[in-house]
Amino acid sequence: MSKHRHQTPLRGTAAVPRPKPGNAEYSDVNYSYAGQTGHIHEVVEIAGRQLAKVGFDDRKIVYYYLEDLELDAKAERGTFHDKER
């Protein structure tokens, strides 16, 4: 099992996935959420690469490499966990 390290300072940061076309590390699900705004739940570093867990308004969680996210650090922070049900 790979060692990993959690990083939470970006929790709640608005993020828009912009994966490069044809990246075999991404599935159809990743590409279906490309261009939509979600919020980072956490960032994990695995084998020297940062992988972000991104939540969307429909409560779907999708993982993206941090380098493939457009971040809006000025946007209101929060995830669907922070909103009233």
What CATH number has the domain bearing residue 18? 2.30.30
Write down the mean pLDDT value for the chain. 85
Q: CA-to-CA distance for 3 and 26, rounded, in angstroms?
A: 21
The proportion of the chain whose per-residue pLDDT surpasses 90, expressed as a percent, equals: 62
Q: Which residues does residue 69 pair with via DSSP β-bridges, in sequence order?
A: 17
Residue with tokens 């994966």: 19
Residue 71 lies in a domain: yes
How many structural domains compose the chain? 1
pLDDT score of 24: 96
The model's pTM is 0.78
3-state secondary structure (DSSP) of residue 51 = strand
* Structural domain span for residue 48: 4-77
Which portions of the chain are predicted below pLDDT 50? 85
